Structure 1
Amino acid sequence: MATSESVVVSKSLPTIHLNLLRAENVTESKNLLDACRTHGFFYLDLTSDPELCKLWKEMLRIMENYFKQPLDVKMQDARGSDNFGYEPIGNEEGPNPKTRDGYESLKFSRREFLKGSSDLTTSVRSQENHFFSFIEHAHSITLMILSHLSSQLGLTGASRFEAHHADPGPSLSTLSIMRYPEHEKRVGDTTEAPCNVGHNKHTDVGSLTFLLAAQWGLQFLSLTTKRWEFIEPRPGHAIINVGDSLRFLSGGELASVVHRVVPLQETQDEDRYSIAYFLRMNDGGVFSDTTGRTWTADEWHDFKFGVFKNPSALDAKGQFLTGMMIPESEELLGSEGQKAIAT
């Protein structure tokens, strides 16, 4: 766990500008490819789209009100699914030994968006159009990013990345809104660590992740410095990262990078909110992992989400949790001096 004395902030992530991508700027398209090859993460400047920035603020307001509700109310939206409905804290292992995850979430699948209803039962259903609107924006932007990457790599026809994500699908693309609650202040001089902390190290299941987060906590395992680095939250900027299926589809050309969520301090000192749209391949879309094993997109999704629940038993070497990225040493389990290499 990082402390205030050992916080390392990334200085290397590039910024890609949404307005330049929309204008088909060739230089920016080349910059995009370089970012996905070299870092696997980049900032996306959204300031040219005030409507999207306004929607971000409106969603945060709704999120705060939703998560403040009693647990029994939120559980009315639980659906036992990895793609839609409410999930309480502690369903997965946490980033530190003997901990569970430290976030609760409410998910809206793109399938729900396409049929026009989330089927939720609490009052948030009356505000679901905000989240559906964001799904529409994020889906369009991530498909545009795929199109630029396809063109830069010279892909044509059915081999283009966006062809694997075309409607009618279906796919398991999902919007997840998450709250990492503030840890209760401990009374007295106790050294007992919190039991629910952050989000375990992993690579993302799908193709691209579109993340809005105004608070610190996201950390990635830099491919250039070979260490854990915090990604600074920037107003008006999304954080985009490549996921497993896009890495596999590109034959390893694009980098799906290990990341996690941990507090800056030993404990979470404020409620942290994040909004993530996970663009995923159409169900049945086929790719091969780095061992040559063939998967469909939905098989990889379901298998990996099963591993998330209990990786220490199902995936002791971190092979699947980290998207076929493997540690050079057991130091990957700690917080400093860590590496990941492709098999």
Structure 2
Amino acid sequence: MAITEPILVAESLPTIELDLLRADNETENKRLLSVCQNYGFFYLNMTSDPELCQLWEDMLSIMKEYFEQPLDIKMQDARNDDNFGYEPMGTEEGPKPKTRDGYESLKFSRREYLKNSTDLTTSIRTKSTPFFNFINQAHTITLLILSRLSTQLGLTGSSRFETYHADPGPSTSTLGILRYPKHESGISEPTSVGHNQHTDVGTLTFLLAAQWGLQYCSPQTKRWEFIEPRAGHAIINVGDSLRFPSGGELASVVHRVVPLKETQEEDRYSIAYFLRPNDDVTFRDATGKMWSAKEWHDFKFDVFKSPSTLDAKGQFLTGMMLEEERGRWVGVAGEGGVAVAV
């Protein structure tokens, strides 16, 4: 995609090498901890694993075919659930005033993976193997990341992060495949746009996206910056359910999805595995309130649907940050800074 307008791009987002993590390289493990403390987001270079990169391509092919179906066909997979089934556009508030979200999604829960059978009913049911394979791979890699972080922080026994995700759970871990459809020509102010600003509910998010649109509010510059999509690289970010148990040591950073311009000029596809703790895991938020992982998940998803009424101060969508921390995000809600041409 040709980008002709200057945009603010995250130039210093670090890259972690998957092969070095797998080899338990001490230098890379230390870098991983530093990155999660200071950035909350990083690239994961997967090019050492060609099978995983090919799986990305396989899933994209099936996704495109699925989302091109008529809405009434896709609605046969609707389950009115946050963790599995189809969801059309417009179920949540959007990132701009008087807008709704601009994406549709299909989710496969890890519960379905563990029983090796999807609860979907359309033809996607017979094509679920690549998605289940990715759930397995992404789950293994995110647990590896947790293990390396636990060791670097000196955690032992039941206090290690990975123990919060032991099978059989249950948990709300899920795989989401999303399409942000391009806007029709002639629409100057679309009413369905992107994805509202938020921190992620869970522990770690493993994202694959080949098109622009993801922005994070950089802890370094305090400005919204686009994260460049890179071939063979996943984008990993820390969520609330890792930030809270770490006592704020690890950064769950505000992010959103918006078009590069006023309108979405091409279909944007993303694949996200959301690793989340077992439902009964408990932690304290930044105000000291105790939550179970399931309670936090359910409440925050309600907030996603109606933040203007349930979260007028932006407290929950941004991960229950303390007042002085939230002030940093409020001050950078608009665009600004020195533009970087891409």
Pairwise same-fold verdict (TM > 0.5)? yes
In 2, Cα distance between equivalents of 1:114 and 1:31: 33
The residue aligned with 2:224 is 228
3-state SS in 1 of match to 2:114: helix
Structure 1 residue 330, shift from structure 2 partner = 4.3
Change (3 A) 1:336 1:320: farther
Matching residue's letter, 2:119: D
The residue aligned with 1:67 is 67
2:307 matched to 1:311?
yes
Match of 1:285 among 274, 281, 297: 281
Q: Over aligned residues, Cα RMSD in angstroms?
A: 1.3
In 2, Cα distance between equivalents of 1:335 and 1:279: 31
Structure 1 residue 168, shift from structure 2 partner = 1.2
In 2, Cα distance between equivalents of 1:336 and 1:206: 30
Unaligned runs of 5+ in 2: 338-342
The residue aligned with 1:340 is none
Matching residue's letter, 1:127: K
3-state SS in 2 of match to 1:134: helix
Matching residue's letter, 1:79: R
Structure 1 residue 251, shift from structure 2 partner = 0.4
In 1, Cα distance between equivalents of 2:303 and 2:148: 32
2:51 matched to 1:55?
no
The residue aligned with 1:145 is 145
Matching residue's letter, 1:104: E
The residue aligned with 1:78 is 78
Identity %: 71
Structure 1 residue 165, shift from structure 2 partner = 0.6
In 2, Cα distance between equivalents of 1:198 and 1:66: 20
The residue aligned with 2:318 is 322
The residue aligned with 1:341 is none
Match of 2:247 among 248, 251, 264: 251
Deviations 1:54-96 (A, max 9, x none): 0000000000000000000000000000000000000000000
In 1, Cα distance between equivalents of 2:33 and 2:304: 29
The residue aligned with 2:10 is 10
3-state SS in 2 of match to 1:249: coil
Change (3 A) 1:229 1:172: same
In 2, Cα distance between equivalents of 1:146 and 1:237: 19
Structure 1 length-normalised TM: 0.94
Deviations 1:280-312 (A, max 9, x none): 000010000011000000000000000000101
The residue aligned with 1:25 is 25
Matching residue's letter, 1:153: L
Deviations 1:107-140 (A, max 9, x none): 0000010011111111000011110000000000
2:262 matched to 1:266?
yes
Q: Is contact 2:104-2:180 (8 Å) kept? A: yes
Structure 1 residue 324, shift from structure 2 partner = 1.5
In 1, Cα distance between equivalents of 2:161 and 2:331: 35
In 2, Cα distance between equivalents of 1:328 and 1:259: 13
Unaligned runs of 5+ in 1: 338-343
Change (3 A) 1:62 1:316: same
Structure 1 residue 6, shift from structure 2 partner = 5.2
Q: Is contact 2:280-2:292 (8 Å) kept? A: yes
Structure 1 residue 336, shift from structure 2 partner = 3.8
The residue aligned with 1:133 is 133
Q: Is contact 1:4-1:265 (8 Å) kept? A: no
2:171 matched to 1:171?
yes
In 2, Cα distance between equivalents of 1:126 and 1:147: 34
The residue aligned with 1:194 is 190
3-state SS in 2 of match to 1:24: coil
3-state SS in 2 of match to 1:327: helix
3-state SS in 1 of match to 2:215: strand
In 2, Cα distance between equivalents of 1:65 and 1:291: 45
Deviations 1:206-227 (A, max 9, x none): 0000000011000000000000
In 2, Cα distance between equivalents of 1:185 and 1:198: 17
In 2, Cα distance between equivalents of 1:329 and 1:111: 35
Deviations 1:148-193 (A, max 9, x none): 000000000000000001111111000000000000001xxx7x40
Match of 1:301 among 284, 297, 303: 297
Q: Give the aligned length.
A: 331
